[in-house]
Structure 1
């Protein structure tokens, strides 16, 4: 399956898409987020990922789960080529392939809830994933009868395995795999749960017993965003979710924490490059994530 430059910059045209990439240049991709869910399996290189303020130091055969709407960035060390397999997953497809007792997106929900997104595999697990990924890649390249159906089935099988492994994973106990700032993590969690309420630097600094200066500078150092930028982006994502679910635009803006509708419209257009009504009708198949490459 050929990958055009547009594909690599964030458009999901299919139910799911697989990339197998290898880069030898060092770079840091700025903070961004997706409207779809994503798995990144590191096969080689020295890579640092930051997801919602938690820094992960990837090793070969580490799997990173990044749910839609999570802000993240990646830094690639040029000393070693960065090879990875990236799987983009459409949320509609995940829902259609799920059952009530086996929602395929549960692995993303779980990693988001605990704010830990890394799986570090044992040698036995590596072999299992190799056996799952190789035929998936082959079926996507094939033009034989039923190859698309086979790929769909294999992708479901892969997600079932990921869900099982997330449920019993203990990677978080390996302190060399990640670094976080507990206080900023608290602030991020609070923001995510109180988007509809007034949120400003002074109120947050009082709530978490931090000086205004320290909170502003530490937050930017950990997340890459100013506090105001982060809250605005999270509110826009929340508003987008509400609009997609059928909520009237003005009500969605209010529920997401925007007190001024004109400010909301301007920020929405600047972020999504479309109006809220067009955003609703556009659907997920063409979801843009800020012009970032496949990471």
Structure 2
């Protein structure tokens, strides 16, 4: 990365980043436990979100809710500039307990209605990224400005219909339905009358990840949600399809950089 301006305060992270010659190896599929606003400024790329492929044009805005897998696919190594904002789903709960502002994130199928065009928010994102005031002023600014962005998203979302799912999206949705079951790639492929190799190829084209890497990451994010709600680490691992706790523990630490006990009240250490 050739340039990065990043601020992380109060659960809100905002980044302005530039790669003069982006390397595809440095951009892989990932899943957040927070909402994300991704604002594309320049480059030659596509954005993959849960089986949907979105062409990126100047001022494209992508939204992803917690647990929604996404990645950038570069078509050529042109200058790649973007803003990204991550924040909790609960950000506006103090004045919007019904989460009406968050409906563009929550009230839609997985991987659908992620793409918007709202060029006027670029100045807002720049203001947030480069604000130098005290923490209280920063929190107040971030909350009010992001609430305005959510309002604009909501108005566009009502005119953004859901299309019929493609075969790629059907693969992804089925995997999510079966996520915590005892599954294998062969069993998943059989459901679509595909070979394991055909299923793997189609799935990786759709998500940017091999099936089992995707499944593991999704299970870990779901387990983290359970831990945050007060579930024990052992129970969270079992519910999310991890039959071996030591496997879950190692994968969790590697993925999140912290122990499950950071949230669980009675986790096994």
Class of the TM-score when normalised by the shorter of the 2 chains: 0.7 to 0.9
Point out which structure has higher relative CO (alpha carbons under 8 A, 6+ apart).
Answer: 1
What is the deviation of 1:149?
2.4
The reply to whether residue 107 of structure 1 matches residue 100 of structure 2 is: no
In structure 2, the CA distance between the partners of 1:215 and 1:275, relative to structure 1 (3 Å rule), is same
The structure in which a higher percent of residues are helix is: 1
Sort the Cα spacing of 1:33 and 1:169 in 2 relative to 1 into closer, same or farther, 3 A: same
Describe how 1:251-266 pairs up with structure 2 within 5 A. 251-266=235-250
Distance 1:164 1:250, change over 3 A: same
Structure 1 position 161 matched with structure 2 position 152: yes
In structure 2, the partner of 1:24 is 20
Pairing partner for 1:245 from 215, 223, 229: 229
Q: Is the 8 A contact 2:31 2:217 kept in 1?
A: no
Shift of 1:245: 0.9
Distance 2:43 2:201 in 1: 30
Structure 1 unaligned residues grouped into runs of 5+: 174-179, 282-295
Contact 2:92 2:143 (C-alpha < 8 Å) held by counterparts: no
Assess if the C-alpha contact under 8 Å between 2:32 and 2:221 holds in 1.
no
Query: CA offset at residue 195 of structure 1?
Result: 2.2
CA distance in 2, matches of 1:27, 1:84: 15
Give the root-mean-square deviation of aligned CA atoms: 3.2
- Partners of 2:37 and 2:241 lie apart in 1 by 30
Change (3 A) 1:213 1:93: same
Secondary structure at the counterpart of residue 91 of structure 2: helix
Tell me if the contact between 1:107 and 1:162 (Cα under 8 Å) persists in the aligned partners: yes
**What pairs with 1:185-224 in structure 2 (closer than 5 Å)?**
185-224=169-208
* Structure 1 stretch displaced more, 202-211 or 88-97: 88-97
**Conserved? CA contact 1:18–1:86, under 8 Å:** yes
Return the offset for 1:90.
2.8
Do the aligned partners of residues 243 and 142 (structure 1) sit closer, same or farther apart at CA in structure 2, a change above 3 Å counting?
Answer: closer
Aligned to 1:231: 215
**Alpha-carbon separation, structure 2, partners of 1:164 and 1:82:** 29
CA shift in 2, pair 1:151/1:236, >3 Å: closer
Q: How many residue pairs were aligned?
A: 261
Ranges in structure 2 where 5+ consecutive residues have no aligned partner = none
TM-score normalized by structure 2? 0.81
Q: Which of 44, 47, 50 is 1:46 aligned to?
A: 44
Of 81, 84, 99 in structure 2, the residue corresponding to residue 83 of structure 1 is 81
